[in-house]
Structure 1
Amino acid sequence: MYEDALAQVDLFSTLNKKELQVLAKSCQPRSYSADSTIISQGDSGVGLYVILKGKVRIQQANDPDKAEEVISVVGPGEVLGEMALLDDLPRSASVVTLEEVDALLLPVWEFRSILRNHPDIALKLLAVLSKRLRKAESRQAD
């Protein structure tokens, strides 16, 4: 049902149709009104979000005496909160809707169960994450 939406996400771009179906079965639809907080910096992560419709602002508070800094604005096809699926650390940024947003939530416990039962999915996701890290490191070096 949601596999076509997941196929558009960079993180899942290397998965085949069957693997996408496995992930899609665990996704839960969510809707948010404008100016709603989807993720709060410092909270524990409950899962990964895929934006289906609408735009969100990703913001981060680095200094308690200053306003939150806007990191980016993202929309459909973007994924939020993927780091929390892997590291159990608090959320590194907040995400606030700029308009009505429809999203898919892939809960962390479902995601981890899928990885245990489908190691090929885990290997493919690790390759994508490794590529992202290399890209970030090369930008830092410049």
Structure 2
Amino acid sequence: MNEDILARVELFSTLSPKELKDLAKSGQERTYPAGSVLFKQGDAGSGLYIIKSGKVRIEQAIHPDRAEETLGTAGPGDVLGEMALLDDLPRSASVTAEEDVTAFLLPVWEFRNFLRSHPDIALKMLAVLSRRLRKAESRSHD
């Protein structure tokens, strides 16, 4: 079931059904009541979230002396924090549940353990990231 959700994440788009099923075992379903904070800007990135139901608001404090600005919302099928799986940088925005939310959480430490036991998956993911970089570079030259 959660492997179907992971299959829609671009980073995992080249994984086989078995690899997705194995990866899904590393995650867990979490629920957040409306008004609760999934994570705050500046927090350590603890993992990737995929919204299964409900809606969240994404906000960012651009200037320290001003209130956070709303960047948008995310709902079922949307992915939050996938870069936290790959780097150790702090969260770039805050995410708050606007409605009751159910999300699939793939913790960074579980993901990294999974990669250590499946190193070939890292190569597949590098290919996806390389395509993203090429796409971004070609847009910057337009």
- Alignment TM-score > 0.5, same fold: yes
Matched, 1:82 2:82: yes
Q: CA RMSD in A?
A: 1.8
Match of 1:73 in 2: 73
Paired residue secondary structure (2:89): coil
Q: Which moved more, 1:124-133 or 1:30-39?
A: 124-133
Q: 2: distance between equivalents of 1:140 and 1:59?
A: 26
Matched, 1:125 2:125: yes
Relative to the length of structure 1, the TM-score reads 0.88
Match of 1:92 in 2: 92
Paired residue secondary structure (1:125): helix
Task: Count the aligned residue pairs.
Answer: 142
Relative to the length of structure 2, the TM-score reads 0.88
Do the aligned partners of residues 131 and 56 (structure 1) sit closer, same or farther apart at CA in structure 2, a change above 3 Å counting? farther
Match of 1:25 in 2: 25
Q: Which moved more, 1:17-26 or 1:115-124?
A: 115-124
Paired residue secondary structure (1:83): helix
Q: 2: distance between equivalents of 1:103 and 1:14?
A: 22
Code of the residue aligned with 2:94 in structure 1: it is S
| 1:59 to partner: Cα distance | 1.4
Paired residue secondary structure (1:87): coil
Q: Name stretches of at least 5 consecutive residues in structure 1 with no aligned partner.
A: none
Q: Name stretches of at least 5 consecutive residues in structure 2 with no aligned partner.
A: none
| 1:108 to partner: Cα distance | 0.9
Code of the residue aligned with 1:3 in structure 2: it is E
**Identity across aligned pairs (percent)?**
68
Q: 1: distance between equivalents of 2:92 and 2:42?
A: 6
Do the aligned partners of residues 99 and 2 (structure 1) sit closer, same or farther apart at CA in structure 2, a change above 3 Å counting? same
